[in-house]
Chain A
Amino acid sequence: MAYDVNTIFQIAGIGIVVAMIHTVLKQMGKEDWAHWVTLIGFVVVLYMVATIVDDLFQKIRSVFLLQG
């Protein structure tokens, strides 16, 4: 249980930090950099979530005899 709550907090933390960096870079007038930061943050979060969803699907396949 603890691990999973931590993962959610981790994802949300990445989101908040990326939003902050985005705002700061925008204030500095570096719009293109801000967009890249947002994109990279999204890719990192997407990788984490994709790992979790892959785990879920493998478990469902093993429980419900969907192999092959």
Chain B
Amino acid sequence: MTIEIVQIVGFALIATFLILLLQPKQPEVALLIGLATGAFIFLYLLAPIESALQLISSLSGQAGVNSIYIQTLLKIIGVAYIAEFGAHIARDADQEAIAAKIELAGKLIIIMLAIPIFQVLIETILTLMPRGA
């Protein structure tokens, strides 16, 4: 799977010109073209990301890292990407308030995902501390 920067930039420029063309007459359709373009570029990038993630998880498996940590990390990255995507679309449509709420929801979900790891960390620290000192 090779990914060409020229392809992606050309695609994005075509979409930009089409949006410029449609903006005065049909602002809704222009916004939807922007949304579709973002989705397509992300879809191209997902294949290399997937192979990189496979490399990371196989390396961590060799290093003996508990797979639950890597899984939580991947989930957090996925939630961050989706929240960012939605927030940017809302911001493109001049809905700053909705974008802020999407980001808030993303942050909250990330915190919820990170709680088990944090708990393990606290327990480790507590076992390291001398008792009754």
Contacts and interface: CB of A to CB of B under 8 A. Distances in A.
Interface of A: 1, 4-5, 7-9, 11-12, 14-16, 18-19, 22, 38, 41-42, 45-46, 48-49, 52-53, 55-57, 59-61, 63-66
18 contacts: A1-B44, A8-B37, A9-B18, A11-B29, A15-B29, A18-B26, A19-B22, A19-B26, A41-B26, A42-B28, A48-B36, A49-B36, A52-B40, A55-B43, A56-B46, A60-B78, A64-B74, A64-B75
Given A45-B29, A59-B43, A63-B53, A11 B36 contact: yes
Contacts of A14: 29
Contacts, number: 100
B25 interface: yes
Closest CB pairs A-B (n = 9)? A64-B78, A15-B29, A19-B25, A12-B18, A56-B39, A49-B32, A4-B40, A15-B22, A15-B26
A64 to B, nearest CB: 3
Interface string B37-55: 1011011101001100100
B119 interface: no
Interface stretch (B7-15, B91-99, B100-108, B121-129): B7-15
A63 B26 contact: no
Interface residues of B, number: 35
Contacts of A38: 26
Interface string B67-92: 00001001101110110010000000
Interface of B: 7, 11, 14-15, 18, 21-22, 25-26, 28-30, 32-33, 35-37, 39-40, 42-44, 46, 49-50, 53, 71, 74-75, 77-79, 81-82, 85
A18 B29 CA distance: 10
